[in-house]
Amino acid sequence: MKGKDDYIRELNIAIGTQGIWNHKVVNSIKNGGDIQFLSNVGECDTCKFRKWLYNDLDNEFKSSVYYPKIVMLHKDIHIAADKAAKLFLEGKKKEAVEMVEMGGEFGIARRKLTNFLKARMKYWEEQE
């Protein structure tokens, strides 16, 4: 059975992993990056965060009230990234860039997941 320190460590790694992926989405859209990558951003199952979410977490965490929310927020990121990528691939770079900015759909989705994970981490850190 994992303890709170294990969850905190894993959440830190997951947040970092998702952050790297998020940055790649933003960078690819703003700077005309990896077209193959952008073509697949809607597929959650190729993402390292998803692998952690489905394969690495134990059943205790998966049965918590937090798990479905994390799954939903993660899916929302991929949906928003896919919309932005499709706009970019259709030649609508301005609209795609707006979506990945902090106030755009992708920016908001990624902030929601990160904030939720950080709140869980803070909660565990404060527990004795």
Q: What is the CATH number of the domain that holds 29?
A: 1.20.120
Q: Any idea how long the chain is?
A: 128
How many domains does the chain contain in total? 1
Domain containing 106 equals: 4-126
Number of neighbouring beta carbons within 10 Å of residue 59: 9
pTM of the model: 0.88
**Chain mean pLDDT for the chain:** 88
> Distance of alpha carbon 101 from its chain centroid, rounded?
15
pLDDT attached to residue 74: 94
Rg (CA), the chain: 15
Distance CA 35, CA 19 (A): 19
- Cβ–Cβ under 8 Å, residues 37 and 89: no
The parts of the chain modelled with pLDDT lower than 50 are none
Distance CA 22, CA 18 (A): 6
